[in-house]
Amino acid sequence: MPVEGLPDPALHRLCRRCGTWYHLHEGSTDWPPVTGLISFIQVRSGQLLERTERMQFRCRGCFDEQARKSKSGRRSLLIGLIMLALIVATCWWLGVFDELEKMLRQGMQQQRPRR
């Protein structure tokens, strides 16, 4: 049940998602959900450095919803990484990097002043 009237920071917490004050036992403090590469890095670095101030309180309803979203976020991150690996592998297989190297060398040779 959301807090009515003036909230007391010692007893209540503001849900970071819906912006409603709740009693401490009506939600939990956890790391923000991973929705992509940037939030993944932020959360992982926060966990490694134990930066608990980055943790956020969320009410139970928002927590459940974000847990679902976080799952799909992690999945899309994984798919993104696999796609990137496939693109790099395909480029390598097609010899794109050799072509790029050739182009870069030619470009550098053209830039050199002729004597």
Q: Is 17 in the site for Zn ion (CB under 5 A)?
A: yes
CA–CA distance, 115 with 93 (Å, rounded to integer):
39
| Local structure of residue 14 (DSSP, 8 states) | E
φ/ψ of residue 31, rounded to 5: -70, 150
Q: Is 15 in the site for Zn ion (CB under 5 A)?
A: yes
Which is closer to Zn ion, CB of 20 or CB of 76? 20
Two structure tokens written together for 96: 């794109």
Q: Which of 2, 8, 11, 18 binds Zn ion (CB under 5 A)?
A: 18
Q: Is 62 in the site for Zn ion (CB under 5 A)?
A: yes
Residues near Zn ion, by CB under 5 A:
15, 17-18, 59, 62
